[in-house]
Amino acid sequence: QSLEGTILAPTNAKAWGSGLLQWLEFTKLSGLSIQGSGTINGRGQQWWTYSDPNDDEDDDKQYNEELERMPRVKPTALRFYGSSNVVVAGIKIVNSSQCHLKFDNCQGVLVHDLTISSPENSLNTDGIHLQNSKDVSIHHTNLACGDDCISIQTGCSNIYIHNVNCGPGHGISIGGLGRDNTKACVSNVTVRDVNMFRTMTGVRIKTWQGGIGLVQDIRFSNIQVSEVQTPIMIDQFYCDKRTCTNQTSAVAVSGVQYENIRGTFTIKPLHFACSDSSPCSGITLTGVQLKPVQIAHYHLNNPFCWQAFGELFTPTIPPIACLQIGKPAGNNLQSYHDIC
Ligand SMILES: *[C@@H]1O[C@H](CO)[C@@H](O)[C@H](O)[C@H]1NC(C)=O
Ligand SMILES: *[C@@H]1O[C@H](CO)[C@@H](O)[C@H](O)[C@H]1NC(C)=O
Ligand SMILES: *[C@@H]1O[C@H](CO)[C@@H](O)[C@H](O)[C@H]1NC(C)=O
């Protein structure tokens, strides 16, 4: 299908009824392709001032009484569900009220020459969201938004992302996985030749305490960062509420390669916070060169590691002394493999 011209989302509350999870949706199709130079404009400005109840269970949501007429549920602009061999190319998706483009339960997805844009302060506006999807390629795409440029959720494997620009936004993220003690499995993800400009994180893996499952076989290479707050992050204590309690189980993280991650950061070059019960293993770093934008005043911007194991294949800038060389003791990954 060809998309030229512009599709505009309605901005009056009545049109949305009691709320929709997605605005434009394609379900259970095979071989659908949407290409062209057209634009999908979600005109989401009215939704951005409060956060999504689905995204945030905090009681303390920002809430604007004047907008009460808009439904609380923010729609994703374009979603594909249960489909195979989907192509989305050339088009622009702008100012979605929530996520711009979502693939759920899809196999065989090709996204290229796409442009996604919404302002830095537009809450919850992920660029591309992948869930339970396999054999996905995203390339030559510009992503600027208020949340993750690309978010890879549970059930994803064989994901290949390259030649992508990201920023503003929160970077390219695997997770949050394992929320509410759920199982999460993600494997075989390659992200290469990416430019990040002024994003919150660069390449990130985030899991909630209490989940089960495994993230494995992940490669991040040739990532150029510029004024990124924290370019490299694994956070197994992910929590977007005020507090989350520590639990024994965790979604394990094993086999993560970082290669040629270069440029400047504003907060910390690297943050590996792994869980006590399932330390991160097989983290390898090659050609990492990250410099602070300003000289640190408080030694804040040293690398941080907790329960992170692996190897440094080359010296790094700054030196990363906190990575524990080798394998964690008594770590039985087999049980995690069996789960996934
Ligand atoms: C998207 O929203 C921003 C902020 O309201 C606005 O400045 C911009 O013009 C919008 N873009 C389009 C294409 O409507
Ligand atoms: C990993 O994913 C790539 C696509 O990015 C695919 O070509 C490759 O066959 C996959 N490897 C395995 C072991 O499935
Ligand atoms: C959870 O565990 C980590 C690592 O042991 C520790 O740094 C953190 O303070 C704990 N958090 C809570 C809320 O107990």
Substitution candidate for ligand 1 out of 37, 41, 95, 145 with most atoms within 8 A of CB: 95
Q: Which atom of ligand 2 is nearest to the CA of 159?
A: 5
CA distance 162 to 195: 10
**Can you give the length of the chain in residues?**
340
Pocket lining: 6 vs ligand 1, CB cutoff 6 Å = no
CATH entry 3.30.1380.20 includes domain 6-339? no
Identify the three-state secondary structure at position 65.
Answer: helix
User: What is the Cα gyration radius of the chain?
Assistant: 20
Locate the domains of the chain by residue range: 6-339
Q: Is 186 within 8 Å of 174 (Cβ atoms)? A: yes
Q: Are 94 and 101 in contact (CB under 8 A)?
A: no
For ligand 2, atom 4: residue with the closest CA? 158
Each residue's pLDDT tens digit, 191-249: 999 999 999 999 999 999 999 999 999 999 999 999 999 999 999 999 988 789 999 99
Confirm whether 104 is a catalytic residue: no
Task: Check: CB of residue 7 under 8 Å from CB of residue 43.
Answer: no
Residue whose CA is at the smallest distance from ligand 1 atom 4: 119
Question: Do the Cβ atoms of 235 and 273 come closer than 8 Å?
Answer: yes
Question: 246, 305, 322: which to mutate for ligand 3, most atoms within 8 A of CB?
Answer: 246
The two tokens of residue 98 are 């929530």
Which amino acid is residue 262, in one-letter code?
Answer: R
338 — pLDDT class (breaks 50, 70, 90): confident
- Averaged pLDDT for residues 327-336: 79
Q: Token pair for residue 252?
A: 């394990």
- The amino acid that residue 5 corresponds to is G
The amino acid present at 57, given as its one-letter code, is: E
Question: Which of 22-31, 68-77, 83-92, 118-127 bottoms out in mean pLDDT, i.e. has the lowest?
Answer: 68-77
Confidence class for position 68, pLDDT limits 50, 70, 90:
low
Distance (Å, rounded) from C-alpha 315 to C-alpha 173? 26
Q: Which of 288, 334, 328, 285 is nearest to 307 (CA)?
A: 328
Told to judge if 113 belongs to the known catalytic residues of this protein, a careful annotator would answer no
Q: Are 236 and 283 in contact (CB under 8 A)?
A: no
| Ligand with an atom nearest the CA of residue 8 | 1
